[in-house]
Chains A and B, each alone.
Chain A
Amino acid sequence: QKEVEQDPGPLSVPEGAIVSLNCTYSNSAFQYFMWYRQYSRKGPELLMYTYSSGNKEDGRFTAQVDKSSKYISLFIRDSQPSDSATYLCAMRAGGTSYGKLTFGQGTILTVHP
């Protein structure tokens, strides 16, 4: 079983929809959580970073972390065709894990006009 599970989709939504992307994890040592967006043939781009349970909002994006359930989410409001990409969740443990990120498989999102 993978340490981080992410539904690969694909997910197809109409423009303006609210999108919900989710990851579950099994390693209770994970303390830091990130969401990346990756366009085709590009490197991942950091969207959101959180380190505690609760919500964090940035523009149309909201990241949610529930450490008790080992579950994280990314919500995209008023989705746009330019949001079409692969979304990756990533996590890091504390202590000597330093820069090692563990990624989910990625969810492919398409927002159609």
Chain B
Amino acid sequence: KAGVTQTPRYLIKTRGQQVTLSCSPISGHRSVSWYQQTPGQGLQFLFEYFSETQRNKGNFPGRFSGRQFSNSRSEMNVSTLELGDSALYLCASKAGGRNEQFFGPGTRLTVL
């Protein structure tokens, strides 16, 4: 079974721009969660989608948003980028009724 895939792997943007990151979960997994990883704050939960509905949200500003499609693929969007948004953005998927989450390789976003 293929693992979680994320595109693009690397991204460089400038302040004020917006960015969209994509995640394809493991086949059959309907839950997709997004996390931000930085050296200072570690791994922090952004939000989770299940069957195209956001069912959990972390403590991030409204500039961070996401969505999920009917095939369970998910995107997250960050608008009006700030320098502090530079991070590794990780996507994780899990099967319904299970607790184990499996992570993708991440998208490394650099904001200049």
Tell which of B11-19, B60-68, B79-87, B102-110 binds the partner: B102-110
Measured in the bound complex, the distance between the Cα atoms of B106 and A92 in whole Å is 21
Q: A99-B92, A100-B56, A101-B33 are in contact. Are A49 and B42 (CB under 8 A)?
A: no
List A contacts of B105 (CB < 8 A): 42-43
Check B48 against A100 for contact (C-beta < 8 Å). Answer: yes
Interface of B is mostly: strand
Which partner residue on chain A sits nearest B93 by CB separation? A99
Question: Contact size class for B?
Answer: 20 to 34
Measured in the bound complex, the distance between the Cα atoms of B4 and A32 in whole Å is 22
Interface: B8 (CB within 8 A): no
Return A41 CB to nearest CB of chain B, in Å: 8
Interface: B101 (CB within 8 A): yes
List A contacts of B111 (CB < 8 A): none
Interface: B90 (CB within 8 A): yes
Check B101 against A46 for contact (C-beta < 8 Å). Answer: yes
List A contacts of B28 (CB < 8 A): none
List A contacts of B108 (CB < 8 A): 41
Measured in the bound complex, the distance between the Cα atoms of B43 and A85 in whole Å is 16
Check A43 against B99 for contact (C-beta < 8 Å). Answer: no
Which partner residue on chain B sits nearest A42 by CB separation? B105
Question: Residues 94-112 of chain A: 1 if any B CB is under 8 Å from the residue's CB, otherwise 0?
Answer: 0011111111111000000
Contact of A103 among B43, B48, B100 (CB under 8 A): B43
Measured in the bound complex, the distance between the Cα atoms of B104 and A41 in whole Å is 11
Which partner residue on chain A sits nearest B100 by CB separation? A49
Check A92 against B42 for contact (C-beta < 8 Å). Answer: no
Further contacts, 14 of them, CB under 8 A, given A43-B105, A100-B45: A32-B99, A43-B4, A43-B103, A44-B103, A46-B100, A46-B101, A49-B100, A51-B99, A88-B42, A96-B55, A96-B56, A98-B48, A100-B33, A106-B43
